Structure 1
Amino acid sequence: MPRDDISATSSLITRQKQSVSSGIRTVHPVYLDRGENAEVWDCDGKRYLDFVGGIGVLTLGHRHPTVMEEVTAQLGRFTHSCFNALPHEPYIAVTDWLAQHCPIEGPAKSMLTNSGAEAMENALKLARAFTGRSAVIAFDGGFHGRTMATLSLTGKVAPYKAGLGTLPGSVHHIPYPCPESGVSDADALAAIDRLFKIVAEPQSFAAVVIEPVQGEGGFRSCSPAFMNALRQLCDRHGMILIADEIQSGFGRTGKMFAIEHAGVCPDIVVMGKGIGGGFPLAALTGADDVMSAMAPGGLGGTYSGNPVACAAARGVFRAFADDNILARANVLGQRYCDHIEKLRTLPGGDVIGRMRGIGAMRAFELVDGDGAPSPKRLQTLLQLARQNGLLLMPSGEYANVVRLLAPLTIPFDQVDEAFSLIGRLLPALADVQ
């Protein structure tokens, strides 16, 4: 027990330093005690607005009533069965929903996993098994996980790959085309053509892996035209198109999946975060022939598709249907846009750079007087906002992008409260050089 003159937070900071790997970095020294929708309270009783949301997990907020209802009912029946050994209906309820709602052409099948990285690992396995090839195209700035194979896909060295040496697989990174990178669709497609000419022939490549909207990369989005060009490229060369919707899926962009904005059907959709309503669940859904490329027993995992997590997902699906969450995401996204534009008009507002994203998957840059990325101003904003009861999440190639990951269910007056606070902090940010 902490001493009376030491806060619970201070005690936990000390304990973390003593027993948690230093390889695990935390953005905010805030130890949560309880949460309700977009509000959380730390172990010392301080209230915050949560615009981190478990880094995009809590699409429906903390303890959504429908999710909790489904979870509570499942807890009264049984808590675990390994689906590979003894299957259960909650798993099939999830895969049924995915088959009906994922943007896959023709019959679709799914596999459930514990995390997005695990889902991506299995997507790579299936792409290899289906094509008989091993090389993969990925994109600069992408983030696909911290496991060894997904690290090969992740388009950023520090801190994820530093000191690890050679990673598995043959992965080739291409510039991600978007306004923020200054890379055009034509530039990216030319880079792929160059890859085929000087590195390996197209028939060596199993898959193209892309985030329609990058998460860790700072909510950068590629154009519908580029997604369609990738679809044509994969069809032409017999490659699998894998859409990483781990952060952009489940309504964040105003559609269930971000790739729907392009009208493109990938061969595999990889998802996680928002699917489980706060419980550890992820999935990959793909075309029947691709998902059936491995022999029975080639896919699975002890905890994959845990029945309690599956019940939570069923609650998520119900809430999306009953509460019209997609429509609310678009209204929320417009409110974000209006607030970000207003910030620029306030004293100190020239620290606000470009706005990024689609729907409610929005972000804004912090810049210096010359318009260059300002990670110092971002770190100052994170600290000052936290001191005043607002938790924000950094991102971007230059660590100067604030990504807004509040629940899609956040009350609009709390959105106004958060941006009012940011507005009051702008003069202090402008003083940071």
Structure 2
Amino acid sequence: MDAAQPGGPSLPQERRLVTAIPGPKSRELTERRSRAVARGVSTTLPVFVTRAGGGIVEDVDGNALIDFGSGIAVTGVGNSAEPVVRRAREQLERFTHTCFMVTPYESYVAVAEELNRLTPGDHDKRSALFNSGAEAVENAVKIARAATRRQAVVVFDHAYHGRTNLTMALTAKNMPYKESFGPFAPEVYRVPLAYPFRWPGGAANCAREAAAQVIDVITTQVGADNVAAVVIEPILGEGGFIEPARGFLPRIAQFCRTHGIVFVADEIQTGFCRTGQWFACEDEGVVPDLVTTAKGIAGGLPLAAVTGRAEIMDAAHVGGLGGTYGGNPVACAAALGAIEEMRASALDAAARRIGAVMKARLSALAEAHPVIGEVRGRGAMIAVELVAPGTTDPAPAVAAAVAKACHAEGLLVLTAGTYGNVLRFLPPLVIPERLLVEGLDVLAGAVRGVA
């Protein structure tokens, strides 16, 4: 993890604070932002970025922050990774757009071929490309409905699937995602998630009991023969990096197979080496019918996809899938560069090393500070859930205070969770190990100072 970093090797890989965070130039730009940008667009940390690469984000005031966010799991290969920049630049010089539905181009096909190879399962597959994760999820539902001629969609507690009307209906958390934006799309049904830390029957019984409840709800309240798709994140993202209890996903996938329900794995945040495997479903050998991807797919350019069984993907009629910008040629070139970098640098293994370092440090921190109720996650997708010590009562104010303290010391961290009490860590997979350790030192100091 200490090799030469993609994304501008001239950017020193060191934390540097030359002003308060945010600095005067960032504060000035924040004033301009308030007059120009809609209030509903939020900002986690109001520092305005000029450069980024490796494990560093540099702002307009010259501060260099350690990046534990990766643009919400997008820049796993690092910002401006060399293969991404090279391929995107070459494509920019040839053409920027034709619309694949009008006059196609090879890079779209090449990305689809890569996705068909990389996603779990050795069955015949097809892919379709879009712009965002929400678009991918929405199209997965369309495809499942076309294939099954059914309407109902089943989703889970704590889920996040996007901000469009349909994906808001699929998302569990009201604020800030759904508040005042309804009514939402119908025929969406929510079922319990196997959340070990909060399962009433205890973690040991979680997978079996939660799966039984899910199957009971689907059978009695929806009707299995009415369900087009079950959509789940193999590790929940915005919901708090929740790993469903082992055995839960295979049980649900088997129920879907038995009843002709399309099992959709939302791998938008977990995919592309983030969890230490190319896709998180691989951890339990689960082979989804459809996989949705985005975020880490193209090194920072907007691209998303649905990949799945050929007979399901081809159920949609000609012209039923697509969009003007879906599979943009520059984004496709970037995706091919990102996949090249993932292979060349074995970023799945890098993620596992990151996870080992983080879990060891965070587990020791949890032993010293019972405000940390749980350390969880896989690979470079790790989180701590903060609670009132000795309970499972959420402590969102503590999470916010720790995040603020980290930001002030030059460490970019994100919060998450249905209750807002989770600190989630998504470092670039190319972060130097010494920066990773330094970031964990800053985090430990923040926890000590707050808790």
TM-score category (smaller protein)? over 0.9
Cα distance in 2 for residues equivalent to 1:199 and 1:401: 32
Q: Which residue of 1 aligns with 2:173?
A: 156
1:422 corresponds, among 428, 440, 443, to 443
CA positional deviation for 1:405: 0.7
Asked whether 1:171 is paired with 2:188, we answer yes
Deviations, residues 350-402 of structure 1 (Å, cap 9, x unaligned): 33331011222111122333443211111111111111111100011221111
Give distance in 2, aligned partners of 1:220 and 1:377: 19
- Give the counterpart letter for 1:239 in structure 2: I
Q: Name the counterpart of 1:21.
A: 38
User: Which residue matches 1:295?
Assistant: 317
Within 2, Cα distance between the matches of 1:28 and 1:242? 33
**Where do residues 277-296 of structure 1 align in structure 2 (5 Å cutoff)?**
277-296=299-318
User: Counterpart of 1:339?
Assistant: 361
- Alpha-carbon distance between aligned partners in 2 of 1:391 and 1:139, rounded to the nearest angstrom: 29
Structure 1 residue runs of 4 or more that deviate by more than 4 Å after TM superposition? none
2:387 pairs with 1:367: yes
Q: Secondary structure at the match of 1:76?
A: helix
Is the counterpart of residue 314 in structure 1 residue 336 in structure 2?
yes
Considering only aligned residues, what root-mean-square deviation do their CA atoms show, in Å?
1.5
Determine the structure 2 residue equivalent to 1:85. 102
1:352 counterpart residue number: 372
Q: Which residue number corresponds to residue 201 of structure 1?
A: 223
Count of matched residue pairs: 423
Question: SS at the partner of 1:413?
Answer: helix
After superposition, give the CA deviation of every residue in 1:13-44 in whole Å (9 maximum; x if it has no partner). 11222221121111111111111121011122
Contact persistence 2:196–2:245 (CA under 8 A): no
Q: Distance in 1 between matches of 2:384 and 2:46?
A: 23
TM-score between both structures, scaled by the size of structure 1: 0.94
Greater CA deviation, 106-115 or 41-50? Answer: 41-50
Contact 1:272/1:283 (8 A) holds in 2: yes
The residue number in structure 2 matching 1:3 is none
Partner of 1:230: 252
Aligned pair 1:257/2:279, yes or no? yes
Q: Is contact 2:194–2:211 with CA below 8 Å preserved after alignment?
A: no
Counterparts of 1:263 and 1:317 in 2: how far apart (Å)? Answer: 22
Q: Does residue 398 of structure 2 align to residue 377 of structure 1?
A: yes
Does residue 304 of the first structure (1) align with residue 321 of the second (2)?
A: no
The alignment-based identity, stated in percent, is 40
1:274 equivalent to 2:301? Answer no
**Could you say which residue in structure 1 is the equivalent of 2:72?**
55
Q: Give the corresponding residue for 1:115.
A: 132
- Give per-residue Cα distances to partners, 1:293-324, cap 9 Å, x unaligned: 11111111111001111111101111111111
Instruction: Work out the CA distance in 1 between the residues paired with 2:190 and 2:113.
Output: 34
The 1:60/1:197 distance shift into structure 2, 3 A limit, reads: closer
Residue 212 of structure 2 corresponds to which residue in structure 1?
Answer: 190
Q: Residues of 2 paired with 1:404 and 1:339: CA distance?
A: 13
Give the letter for the 1:62 counterpart.
N
User: Match of 1:251, as an amino acid?
Assistant: C
Q: CA deviation at 1:221?
A: 1.1
CA distance in 1, matches of 2:208, 2:387: 28
Q: Secondary structure at the match of 1:313?
A: helix
Structure 2 unmatched ranges of 5 or more:
1-22, 201-205
Q: Determine if the alignment matches structure 1 residue 128 to structure 2 residue 145.
A: yes
Which secondary structure does the structure 2 equivalent of 1:312 belong to?
helix
Letter in 2 for 1:351: V
Is the 2:278–2:348 Cα contact (8 Å) retained in structure 1?
Answer: yes
| Contact 1:48-1:391 within 8 A present in 2 as well | yes
Displacement of 1:345 in angstroms is 5.4
